[in-house]
């Protein structure tokens, strides 16, 4: 093989190697960004679950308070009805 052809093939091979290395670097960057996005979404999901739990606890507390209020109002109405009944 003459030196000119060898130099040309070496140059082409070097370009291919650089392009492959560049493509791998881009793939690694995409993978890193995807990892950050997934990690960010995971953190968001955990935070959202915490907020949903707080809402559920608040609703349960409000339900208990409304039940106590309803029981109290029912008791007071029964007392008023008892006082208004003719003896």
Global pTM value: 0.48
Q: What is the pLDDT of residues 18-72, one digit of tens each?
A: 999 888 888 888 887 777 776 777 778 888 888 999 999 999 999 999 999 999 9
CA atoms within 13 A on the CB side of 46: 5
Q: Is the backbone of residue 6 left (phi > 0), alpha (psi -120 to 50) or beta?
A: alpha
């Amino acid at each position: 093989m003459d030196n000119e052809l060898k130099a040309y093939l070496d140059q082409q091979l070097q370009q291919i190697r650089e392009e492959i290395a560049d493509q791998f670097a881009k793939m690694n960057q995409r993978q890193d960004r995807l990892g950050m996005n997934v990690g960010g979404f995971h953190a968001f999901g955990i935070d959202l679950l915490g907020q949903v739990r707080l809402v559920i606890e608040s609703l349960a507390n409000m339900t208990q308070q409304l039940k106590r209020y309803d029981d109290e109002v029912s008791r007071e109405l029964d007392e008023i009805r008892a006082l208004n009944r003719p003896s």
